[in-house]
Chains A and B, each alone.
Chain A
Amino acid sequence: MSAPLNPPISQAIRAEARKREIAARRRSGRVALLFIAPALGLVALFLLFPVVFNLGLSFTRWQRFSGLDEFGGLMNYQRLFMVPYFSDVVINTAMWVIGAITLPLAFGLGLALLLRGVPGEGLFKSLFFLPRVLAPAAVGTIWFYVYAPDGVINSLAGAAVGQDIDYGWLFESHTITPAIIMTFVWQTLGINMVLLLLGMAAIPRDPIEAAHVDGASSWQIFRHIVWPLLLPTVFVVTILNVIAGFTAFDLIWVMANGYPAQRSLSLAVYMYYETFSNSRWAFGAAIAVMLSALVILVSWALTVMQSRVEERIR
């Protein structure tokens, strides 16, 4: 009879070693937890708690001085659909999201392609990026006067056609939102351009040079090589633009406060308006819940699309 390969004494040592390893892991886990505890605490206090509190608020009757302790059920959510101009709010928000996704991206991409390798590229990039560093409230104030009846746009248009034009871009219900979106585009296309230029810089040169050698046109190179490889960056830019579109506030507040007949309201501005101007705290909370749900839903859909596209590229 031969001796066992693993004598009992060695098993005991191994078990002891495992115990020590587990204890060490637990210790290091506790230390790690200790390190991230302040951050976790802050997130819980300033993000998770307000989100849960806001959700709870949306089911109360709180407005002005009272109602915080009264359960209102779905009252605030129902009320939203009774507001006569709610359809305008939804349409404006949709216009903002579509406009914020497509226009800065299209113009930013166009500029990125145009400026790549052009003499003075750095100067042009700085110029186009400049509006991004201005406060939106300042931008809104400047553009309010650009769009004014006696502003720059009407003056230029008047000079071009040889007659006085005093069109009120921000005073007409069908031009107010597009006009403000164009201001947003002016301010944000610079950051879109810079992000896309960074994405382009990360594209390997080899397939492009190979395509050149094979006689591919610029459009074919863009369509079949640059664009697919740029898509991950495009998705990141798109998600940022979607969030910016849904939460657009400053420009609308400054350029269209009260004009005309709430025809410029987006969900984000409407939330502020009901909460702080009308003191309907619970109703404002319900709008915030709806807005957050929409942003999360659209961002999630885009993230899923992004990962599928990335998988296909791989």
Chain B
Amino acid sequence: MRVSTLLASAAITAAGWTAASAQDVTFYYDKSGWDEGFAALIEGASEASGLDIAGQQQTPTDRYQAYIMSSIAGGATPAIFTWWNGKQLDSLVETGEIADLTALWDEAIEAGWFSEAERELFSVDGTPYAIPLNVARWPVLYNKDAFEAAGIEQPPQSWDELIAAADALKEAGYVPFNAPAVGGWMGFIWFSELMIRTDPDAFVGLTDGSVPYDGPEVQRAMEIWTDFYERGYFTDAREQDETRFMVNEEAAMYLIGEWTAGILANRGMEPGEQIGAFLLPPIDAETENSVIVEAAPIVFSADAMEEMPALMDAARYLMSPEAGNALGAANGIYSGNLMTDAPNAIVSDVNAIIAEDAPRSIVRWWEAVPPELQGDLVSQMNAFMLDPTEENAQRVMDDMQALNESYWAFQ
């Protein structure tokens, strides 16, 4: 009896093991709400490579990151997984576990799928180590009806026009900007934007420790931010529904990633018809025009790529216009591929603005800053939004710099 039980257990284990072995590759990701898009990407990548690829979503993000980091530390780097660019990608590449994708990017650029600008977003020291899952620019989304009601004929082209538009919107009964601090991460949005609109180089310097968080560059951005609050340009930062003030048309503009157009569309605000987009103008005429870009990379294990050359075919598919269109159709997400159809009118508008103005692409603060500093610093920015006074602005700058110094002292 005991022997038969043992044999049965062994058989079940062996069956399970065989089933697991039949799975060639697992594609790990943490993006919740993109299931349909990932299913389409994985199906296409499996077909293109002949590999049996399975998706594995893990949330929340901190648990996902812990899983990936401990897998790499334990010598079991997942074959395909999503990650973050900027400093997050730098430290991942430093492990030596990530595949160099130079040849694939050369092909993609030659085919006209991407430009050098996108390649740069996924490169470390000039070498591309990732392919784009999505690329999102950060424009101001605006309510066209509100602009019309306030007598604003076109999106602001200069800082003075922006202030005039904000005042006109206030006059017409709108709060000019929706600015929630929900989720613990949104504090960096206006901080980053005001930094790049006053001094984009200083913004980049903040992320590598060469510019202090209490220096004159940050002082200026914080003064403008405080002034905007004094003027009543922002909604209550304590609101927990991040799009509520936009959807109920209390607020007229929303500085956010273009992917929010999909969220607004789901809540009844049609991109293109009710919602338009523009880039915030520089504060000084001589300041370089720029745009914040958020990019989500897909990376591949160097060992897995060597063991399974067909993985390169999967990577090629994931960069292709077909994959981009599949993701766009499923979730309204823009892959950054220049040959894909824009998934909505906002992406289309932003593509047109970028083609015309050619602004400098700047990696979003969240990805650009050392990951160990993200939470601490953004929490300070949130704290400012909850108490936007001059006194608190100074305290926030002092605390941010103390945290910044503490971090760099240990590097």
Which among A64, A75, A171, A278 is the interface contact of B238 at CB below 8 angstroms? Answer: A171
Of B94, B95, B372, which is in contact with the most chain A CB atoms at under 10 Å from its CB?
B372
Q: Which residues of B contact A257 (CB under 8 A)?
A: 184
In the complex where A65-B69, A66-B95, A68-B73 touch, is A263 in contact with B406 (Cβ < 8 A)? no
Question: Any chain B CB within 8 A of the CB of A136?
Answer: no
Question: Any chain A CB within 8 A of the CB of B345?
Answer: no
Chain A's closest residue to B183 (CB) is: A258
Task: Tell me, in angstroms, the Cα distance from A84 to B404 when the chains sit together.
Answer: 10
Question: Any chain A CB within 8 A of the CB of B310?
Answer: no
* Segment 195-249 of B: residues with Cβ below 8 Å from A: 236, 238, 240
Q: Are the C-beta atoms of A65 and B91 separated by less than 8 Å?
A: yes
Question: Any chain A CB within 8 A of the CB of B386?
Answer: yes
Q: Are the C-beta atoms of B91 and A260 separated by less than 8 Å?
A: no
Q: Which residues of A contact B91 (CB under 8 A)?
A: 64-65
Chain A's closest residue to B402 (CB) is: A84
Question: Any chain B CB within 8 A of the CB of A299?
Answer: no
Task: Tell me, in angstroms, the Cα distance from A117 to B409 when the chains sit together.
Answer: 64
Q: Are the C-beta atoms of B73 and A79 separated by less than 8 Å?
A: no
Question: Any chain A CB within 8 A of the CB of B40?
Answer: no
Question: Any chain B CB within 8 A of the CB of A277?
Answer: yes
Chain A's closest residue to B94 (CB) is: A65
Q: Which residues of A contact B46 (CB under 8 A)?
A: none
A-B contact number at CB 8 A: 84
Q: Are the C-beta atoms of B69 and A279 separated by less than 8 Å?
A: yes
Q: Are the C-beta atoms of B372 and A65 separated by less than 8 Å?
A: no
Question: Any chain A CB within 8 A of the CB of B19?
Answer: no
Q: Are the C-beta atoms of B69 and A262 separated by less than 8 Å?
A: no
Q: Are the C-beta atoms of B238 and A149 separated by less than 8 Å?
A: yes
- Closest chain B CB from A44 CB (angstroms): 22
Question: Any chain A CB within 8 A of the CB of B359?
Answer: no
* Segment 372-411 of B: residues with Cβ below 8 Å from A: 372, 374-376, 378-380, 382-383, 386-387, 396, 399, 402-403, 406, 409-410
Task: Tell me, in angstroms, the Cα distance from A298 to B370 when the chains sit together.
Answer: 37
Question: Any chain A CB within 8 A of the CB of B63?
Answer: yes
* Segment 69-107 of B: residues with Cβ below 8 Å from A: 69, 72-73, 91-92, 94-95
Q: Which residues of B contact A259 (CB under 8 A)?
A: 181, 184, 379, 382-383, 386
In the complex where A84-B406, A171-B238 touch, is A260 in contact with B375 (Cβ < 8 A)? no
Q: Are the C-beta atoms of A75 and B383 separated by less than 8 Å?
A: no
- Closest chain A CB from B207 CB (angstroms): 16
- Closest chain A CB from B129 CB (angstroms): 14
Question: Any chain A CB within 8 A of the CB of B185?
Answer: yes
Question: Any chain A CB within 8 A of the CB of B22?
Answer: no
Which among B183, B387, B410 is the interface contact of A79 at CB below 8 angstroms? Answer: B410
Question: Any chain B CB within 8 A of the CB of A49?
Answer: no
Q: Which residues of A contact B73 (CB under 8 A)?
A: 65-66, 68
Q: Which residues of B contact A65 (CB under 8 A)?
A: 69, 72-73, 91-92, 94-95
Q: Are the C-beta atoms of B63 and A276 separated by less than 8 Å?
A: yes
Question: Any chain B CB within 8 A of the CB of A85?
Answer: yes
Question: Any chain A CB within 8 A of the CB of B110?
Answer: no
Q: Are the C-beta atoms of B371 and A261 separated by less than 8 Å?
A: no
Chain B's closest residue to A72 (CB) is: B410
Q: Which residues of B contact A260 (CB under 8 A)?
A: 379, 382-383, 386-387
Task: Tell me, in angstroms, the Cα distance from A301 to B321 when the chains sit together.
Answer: 68
Task: Tell me, in angstroms, the Cα distance from A174 to B389 when the chains sit together.
Answer: 17
Q: Are the C-beta atoms of A168 and B62 separated by less than 8 Å?
A: no
Task: Tell me, in angstroms, the Cα distance from A168 to B181 when the chains sit together.
Answer: 13
Question: Any chain A CB within 8 A of the CB of B340?
Answer: no
Task: Tell me, in angstroms, the Cα distance from A209 to B365 when the chains sit together.
Answer: 73
Q: Are the C-beta atoms of B372 and A261 separated by less than 8 Å?
A: no
Task: Tell me, in angstroms, the Cα distance from A261 to B62 when the chains sit together.
Answer: 19
Chain A's closest residue to B62 (CB) is: A276
- Closest chain B CB from A290 CB (angstroms): 18
Question: Any chain B CB within 8 A of the CB of A123?
Answer: no
Question: Any chain B CB within 8 A of the CB of A273?
Answer: yes
Question: Any chain A CB within 8 A of the CB of B65?
Answer: yes
Task: Tell me, in angstroms, the Cα distance from A280 to B382 when the chains sit together.
Answer: 22
Which among A68, A75, A263 is the interface contact of B410 at CB below 8 angstroms? Answer: A75
Task: Tell me, in angstroms, the Cα distance from A258 to B65 when the chains sit together.
Answer: 19
Question: Any chain B CB within 8 A of the CB of A82?
Answer: yes
Q: Are the C-beta atoms of A84 and B372 separated by less than 8 Å?
A: no
- Closest chain A CB from B76 CB (angstroms): 13
Of A171, A172, A258, which is in contact with the most chain B CB atoms at under 10 Å from its CB?
A258
In the complex where A79-B410, A83-B406 touch, is A263 in contact with B375 (Cβ < 8 A)? no
- Closest chain A CB from B380 CB (angstroms): 5
Chain B's closest residue to A259 (CB) is: B382
Question: Any chain B CB within 8 A of the CB of A63?
Answer: yes
- Closest chain B CB from A53 CB (angstroms): 14
A28-66 interface bits toward B, Cβ cutoff 8 Å, 1 = contact, 0 = none: 000000000000000000000000000000000001111
Q: Which residues of B contact A262 (CB under 8 A)?
A: 376, 379
In the complex where A65-B72, A65-B73, A259-B184 touch, is A279 in contact with B95 (Cβ < 8 A)? no
Q: Which residues of B contact A149 (CB under 8 A)?
A: 236, 238
Task: Tell me, in angstroms, the Cα distance from A258 to B94 when the chains sit together.
Answer: 30
Task: Tell me, in angstroms, the Cα distance from A83 to B373 when the chains sit together.
Answer: 12
* Segment 138-184 of A: residues with Cβ below 8 Å from B: 148-149, 168, 171-173
Q: Which residues of B contact A279 (CB under 8 A)?
A: 65-66, 69, 371-372
Q: Which residues of B contact A75 (CB under 8 A)?
A: 410
Task: Tell me, in angstroms, the Cα distance from A307 to B197 when the chains sit together.
Answer: 67
Chain A's closest residue to B383 (CB) is: A261
Chain A's closest residue to B181 (CB) is: A259
Q: Which residues of A contact B240 (CB under 8 A)?
A: 148
Which among B238, B372, B379, B403 is the interface contact of A63 at CB below 8 angstroms? Answer: B372
Pairs A–B under 8 Å by Cβ, sample size 8: A63-B372, A82-B409, A149-B238, A168-B238, A258-B378, A259-B386, A260-B382, A261-B396
Known A278-B374, A279-B65; further 19 A-B contacts with Cβ < 8 A = A64-B69, A65-B95, A66-B94, A79-B410, A83-B406, A84-B406, A149-B238, A258-B184, A258-B379, A259-B386, A260-B386, A261-B382, A261-B383, A262-B376, A273-B375, A276-B62, A277-B62, A278-B376, A279-B66
Report, nearest first, the 9 A-B pairs whose CB atoms are least far apart: A258-B184, A261-B383, A260-B383, A84-B402, A276-B62, A65-B95, A82-B406, A260-B386, A278-B372
